[in-house]
Structure formats: structure tokens, C-alpha cells
Amino acid sequence: MNGHLLVHGLPVLDPACIREMGEELDHASALTFLSAYLDFLPERLATLCAAVALEDGAAAMDRVLSLKVSSTMVGACRLSALAEALQGLVCTGNWAAAEPLLAELAASVTAVLAAGRAAVGTFQPIRTG
């Protein structure tokens, strides 16, 4: 499975997701969530890579689902799509195909971190009325 085909055209980070979260919660909470997501992203990737390397299906599934869901929530669309592709491989125990996908995940994490750090200071609450 080629992750590039899955992520072509998807944004690295969709700011509309954080704005929508800010509307549902509040602006500060949405930015706090995004900041925490970015802070824990390298550790999430590391623990996911370790679980895949050990071919630990339960741990890998837990970590890939966590990565997919949290990435979806903040609008890290490419990363979420790659995590979903990896989820399918973990589910079937296709460790040989999962290993190369980790490099694509790592590149996507790097891109999300750069975009996220740049964006944290630029999100403004949506003013109505």
C-alpha cells in the first residue's frame, strides 16, 4: 500500500478544524488541545514505531488509533490518512508492509509539527455579530 496515494492533496494541517473546535469549546481550550497534541506527537510516533517493530498487535492498534483520532480532531489530515492505512496493516498483521509506512508517518509528523507550531500563534477566535 502506497501512503502517497492516500494523502495526495490532503492538507498537512487544516486550520478550520481548530476553529470549529474553538466554536464548540472555546478558543483557549482548542489551542491548548492543539499544543498538547503537538507536544506528544513525537512520543506517539516513537511508541507506535516500537510496537510495530515488536509486532505487538494490541499495542500497535492502540497507538495507531490514538494517533488517527487525535490527528483527525486537530485537522492533521495527511497524518490521519496515513494512520488509517497503518491501522489496516496492523489489523491484518501485515508487518512487512507496515514498516515502510512508518517512514511516511515520520515525515508527516515532522510536517505537522512545523505547521502546527507556526499556526498556534495565528489562530484567532471567530467573531460573530
Q: Which CATH number do you get for residue 84?
A: 1.20.120.160
Q: Render pLDDT for 8-27 as a digit per residue (tens, 0 to 9).
A: 689 999 988 888 988 898 88
Total domains in the chain come to 1
pTM of the model: 0.86
**Is position 72 within any domain?**
yes
Q: Render pLDDT for 36-93 as a digit per residue (tens, 0 to 9).
A: 999 999 999 999 999 999 999 999 999 999 999 999 999 999 999 999 999 999 999 9
Burial readout 43-54 (b: 16 or more C-beta within 10 A, e: otherwise):
ebbebbbebbee
Domain containing residue 56: 16-118
- What local confidence, expressed as pLDDT, does residue 124 receive? 53
What's the alpha-carbon Rg for the chain, to the nearest Å? Answer: 15
**Is position 65 within any domain?**
yes
Q: Render pLDDT for 81-125 as a digit per residue (tens, 0 to 9).
A: 999 999 999 999 999 999 899 999 999 999 999 999 888 777 654
Q: Which long-range contacts (CB under 8 A, 24 or more apart) does 88-96 make?
A: 88/1, 89/1, 90/52, 90/57, 90/60, 90/61, 90/64, 91/61, 93/55, 93/57, 95/52, 95/55
Give dist(CA 4, CA 92) in Å, integer. 20
